[in-house]
């Protein structure tokens, strides 16, 4: 009786997971990736525009898009400002939501991405002359910068993402 009750409880706990897309737990990365550390500014600091964020990275070799065969050990950085990053293994085409960009093989280009808060770099700093205001009346707004790794074929590497939050006075006040 105890065994049957235990099995019923186990089935009740596991069954909901099958409908949530969590049937492949072995595909999830449950480790802390501490290879990237932000140098400046400090997390949650109040800063004024222009803003430059910088970081250091270990265990990853910087290589430009298209410079060598793709691997998980080399590539470049993508910084997403006030938006969610693309999903693992996606390319920047995932950012292209309008039909004009989807029809243009050269799109998205750097200008298109920058206008949507996405910046790619082979460096460990990114400079922003101005950050778009967020919706709301707050005089000081919390902006989020998320750095992810991209391989040399333009695909996001894994699930690792590093977040820096900065308080920036709203433009125009």
- Residue 131 forms part of a structural domain: yes
Q: What is the pLDDT of residue 71?
A: 94
Q: What is the CATH number of the domain that holds 54?
A: 2.60.40
Q: What is the pLDDT of residue 14?
A: 52
- Residue 2 forms part of a structural domain: no
**3-state helix, strand and coil shares in percent for the chain, rounded to the nearest 5:** 20, 30, 50
- The CB density around residue 49, as the number of other CB atoms within 10 Å, is 11
**First-to-final CA distance of the chain:** 70
Q: What's the pLDDT tens digit per position in 138-166? A: 899 999 999 999 999 999 999 999 999 99
- Residue 59 forms part of a structural domain: yes
Q: What is the pLDDT of residue 8?
A: 56
Q: How many domains does the chain have?
A: 1
Q: What's the pLDDT tens digit per position in 109-137? A: 999 999 999 999 999 999 999 999 999 88
Question: Which residues, in sequence order, are bridge partners of residue 151?
Answer: 75
pLDDT of residue 7 exceeding 80, the answer is no
Q: Which residue from 92, 117, 116 is spatially nearest to 106, judged by alpha carbons?
A: 92
- If phi over 0 gives left and psi between -120 and 50 gives alpha, with beta otherwise, what is residue 68? beta
The reported pTM is 0.81
Q: What is the pLDDT of residue 172?
A: 77
Domain of residue 134: give its range.
34-169
Q: Give the helix/strand (H/E) hosting 76.
A: strand 74-81
- Residue 20 forms part of a structural domain: no
- The CB density around residue 87, as the number of other CB atoms within 10 Å, is 10
Instruction: For residues 116 and 157, give the distance between their C-alpha atoms in angstroms, rounded to a whole number.
Output: 21
Q: What is the pLDDT of residue 24?
A: 52
- Residue 41 forms part of a structural domain: yes
- Residue 26 forms part of a structural domain: no
Q: Per mean pLDDT, which of 6-20, 27-41, 140-154 is the most reliable?
A: 140-154
Q: State the chain's maximal CA–CA distance in angstroms.
A: 70
Exposure of 165 in the CB half-sphere (CA atoms within 13 A): 4
Residue 6: which pLDDT band, with cuts at 50, 70 and 90?
low
- Residue 27 forms part of a structural domain: no
Compute CA distances 37 → 41, 124, 157, 167, whole Å.
11, 10, 17, 19
- Residue 138 forms part of a structural domain: yes
Q: What is the pLDDT of residue 12?
A: 56
Exposure of 96 in the CB half-sphere (CA atoms within 13 A): 18
Q: What is the pLDDT of residue 171?
A: 83
Instruction: For residues 16 and 122, give the distance between their C-alpha atoms in angstroms, rounded to a whole number.
Output: 43
- The CB density around residue 75, as the number of other CB atoms within 10 Å, is 27
Q: What's the pLDDT tens digit per position in 43-93? A: 999 999 999 999 999 999 999 999 999 999 999 999 999 999 999 999 999
pLDDT of residue 4 exceeding 60, the answer is no
Q: What is the pLDDT of residue 56?
A: 98
């Amino acid at each position: 009786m105890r065994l049957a009750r235990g099995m019923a409880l186990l089935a009740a706990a596991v069954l909901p997971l099958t409908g949530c897309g969590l049937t492949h737990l072995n595909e999830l990365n449950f480790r802390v990736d501490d290879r990237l550390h932000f140098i400046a500014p400090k997390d949650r600091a109040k800063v004024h525009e222009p803003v430059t964020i910088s970081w250091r990275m270990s265990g990853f070799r910087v290589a430009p898009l298209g410079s060598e065969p793709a691997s998980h050990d080399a590539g470049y950085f993508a910084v997403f400002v006030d938006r969610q990053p693309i999903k693992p293994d996606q390319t920047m085409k995932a950012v292209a939501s309008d039909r004009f960009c989807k029809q243009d093989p050269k799109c998205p280009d750097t200008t298109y991405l920058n206008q949507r808060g996405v910046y790619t770099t082979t460096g460990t700093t990114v400079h922003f002359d101005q950050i778009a205001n967020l919706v709301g009346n707050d005089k000081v707004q919390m902006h989020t910068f998320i750095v992810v790794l991209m391989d040399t074929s333009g695909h996001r590497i894994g699930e690792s993402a590093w977040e820096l939050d900065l308080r920036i006075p709203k433009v125009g006040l």
